[in-house]
Amino acid sequence: MSVVSLYKSKIANFTVPEKASFRQKMETTIDLEAEKKEILKAYRHLLRNTKRYQAKGDLQLIRKAFDLALEAHKDMRRKSGEPYIYHPLAVAEIVTAEIGLGAKSIVCALLHDVVEDTHITLEDIRSMFGDKVATIIDGLTKISGVFDHTSATTSIQAENFRKMLLTLSSDVRVILIKLADRLHNMRTLDSMARDKQLKIASETLYLYAPLAHRLGLYAIKTEMEDLSLKYTEPEVYESISNKLVETQRQRQRFINKFSFPIMNSLNEAGLDFDIKGRTKSIYSIYKKMKKQEVPFEEVYDLFAIRIILNSTSENEKSDCWRTYSIVSDHYVPNTERMRDWISTPKSNGYESLHTTVMSGTGQWVEVQIRTKRMDDIAEKGLAAHWKYKESSGENVLEEWIAKIREVLENPDPNALDFIDDFKLNLFAEEIFVFTPKGELKTLPVGATSLDFAFEVHSEVGMKCIGAKINNKLMPLSYKLKSGDQIEVLTSSKQYPKEDWLNFVVTGKAKSKIKQALKDEKRQLAEEGKEILERKFRNLKVKPDNNTINRLVKYYKMMSPLDFYYRIANKNIDLHDLKEALEDPDKKGFFGYLKRFIPGSKEKEEKPQQIENLVADLNGKPAQLLIGDNLEKLDYTLSKCCNPIPGDDVFGFITINEGIKIHRVSCPNAIQLMGKHAYRVIKAKWTSKESIAFLAGLKITGIDEVGIVNNITKIISSELHVNMRSISFEEHDGTFDGTIMVYVHDTQHLNSLVNNLKKVNGVHTVTRMDSN
């Protein structure tokens, strides 16, 4: 009997409610069966991708991990509604197929969430899979516990990121699996709420994409950046994506015509090669548009030509240079844009020859020349180094990991400071300098004599008083250039100074200087503590930790250490100590936040708002609803991006200035949401009344007679927009102008921008981030 016949005979004698109930049960059973089939299908696909990495016993180990993960997550579902097991399976797929790791990494990817989200403990993992797997899983498990989310020095993201990096000492695979985990989360971000999308995307762009870049994982870094832009600036992402599709055929025709003569010459030279055009990522195009302040149509280097050679290891360099010679025979190279990363690879192991040549149509084209081995390393980074053991890139990666370990060795590093120091060199371009004995050192662009001294040794940096650059005496702040030879000068009487932090750029130098200054600060803080204790004795007060914390809030200090330090430096007058002990919440961050609580007395002390100043002349301000429950709270508009009604915005809880409103596209948004997501709150405009908001416009164009008059006529006469200021500068036939105007909302501003673009001689009109 068929399934349909069985189904019909089963419900023939049922009542209508019974039939409906039975159908629902059948549909649920069918759905669960379909899900099981899909899960097994995904698992088998994973196994097919692991075949090249399998050793004896690997399949059994992977199956054991899969069965445990499936059982542990059986009652869990993702925000999208799909079974949770799809996520660890997808992470394992990325780990093996896109990064190229082996069986142990696949096991860890399958189990990466079981300790954090289920009843399985780390000891269970250790007993079933061994110490190595347990160590990796521990590195991937987020820190739990109570954090003071009001503290400016505490960030749960920073602490978790630092914990993950601590495992570098034992196993770098923790970071690779974490990157795979983050990549899959970004790929499935559609099902999350808008505020969550912004926080996760910003954190990815701030921390994880630079880390992928530093490990040489170009494909993963690029996808993370593109997906981050998709959620932080969806309209911009969609616009660039559509324009790339529209211009695809035109680009391909150009690439074919450009490549044809090169291909013929390479064939004649007997070289085995593959040549292709690579369109640049949406995010990199967006960055060029922002940096150059041009529209998509005026970004000319949308793609690069890549020539990949199948060369033996002994002929790699010579084949690359022969290819460069052939390319430059056909097209004139720009010598200033030649990059040789074959003789001196980047510190993430990247090797390639880059040159920019002038095409026959008058367009500059970037050409990248590399071997198959170099291309594998460029795409898969760290994992590919294990494939090519003889690669020189492995050594530079080991050196980088050693530097990170050194930063992590500080006895009491602040997590947020650590993230800042760690990020410093992730994306930095590099220079190559030499010691007096000719030893090569790699430093980021902008590095100073003092950075070099710390690179030689921490103690050398601490005692550095200057340097001889190419036998000429130079100060600590001198910026080094590639090829410089440096001799460090030291003195036993020298000690680190706070202004050193203004010009050093390497993470190592910054962290060592900060640690030395903290040690000095602790010594002074001890003196301040003794002064405070004498005051307590005079007042006959027996202090405890609670008393100290109340005083820290009263005097608006960041920590007890800062409090004691300021007392020692006589920056805090303790004459009102008695009052502070009696009324601890009168000042400080918590006292300020009390003004936001309905019914609180402190609510009467409202701060002066920026928009209220404008409203005195223009009427009632537009309303913002803030927080998860979207209530009307006091706020100020951030001056770094000047949001106006209609902008996509978020609120940020500051330490001393309450809630500040930023645009999602604010230059500081990525850093704020990436480092301090716990202080970011929802914000939404609810009305667009007659208030005028200040906005800045930058205008460029050809300096024609009457151009300024035509621009002001559009603004004042036709659109009736009030101007606060206007300034123009002429440069040999062109002009740059800045106009500050009062507008009601984004629609009003966009209308003004579109009308100004129609003025003869105007080239670009762009909104400024700050006034």
Q: Three-state SS string across 49-108, please?
A: HHHHHCCCCHHHHHHHHHHHHHHHCCCCECCCCCECCHHHHHHHHHHHHHHCCCHHHHHH
Q: Which one is catalytic: 33, 67, 116, 459? A: 116
Q: Is 75 a catalytic residue?
A: no
Question: Tokens 């500051």 map to which residue?
Answer: 654
761 in Cβ contact with 729 (< 8 Å): no
191 in Cβ contact with 233 (< 8 Å): no
Beta carbons within 10 angstroms of residue 55's beta carbon: 10
C-alpha pair distances (Å), 656 with each of 150, 576, 581, 591, 672: 11, 21, 20, 10, 16
Q: Which one is catalytic: 117, 379, 406, 689? A: 117
> Rounded to whole angstroms, how far apart are CA atoms 401 and 36?
42
Residue-wise DSSP of 246-259? HTHHHHHHHHHHHH
> Rounded to whole angstroms, how far apart are CA atoms 250 and 477?
49
Find the distance separating the first CA and the last CA of the chain, reported in whole Å. 78
C-alpha pair distances (Å), 349 with each of 366, 380, 392: 21, 11, 7
Residue 39 C-alpha from the chain's centroid:
32
Residue 425 C-alpha from the chain's centroid:
13
Residues 6 or more apart in contact with residue 139 via CB below 8 angstroms: 163, 164, 166, 167, 170, 171, 174, 178
Tokens of 617: 């002349």
Q: Is 18 a catalytic residue?
A: no
Beta carbons within 10 angstroms of residue 302's beta carbon: 18
Residues taking part in catalysis: 116-117
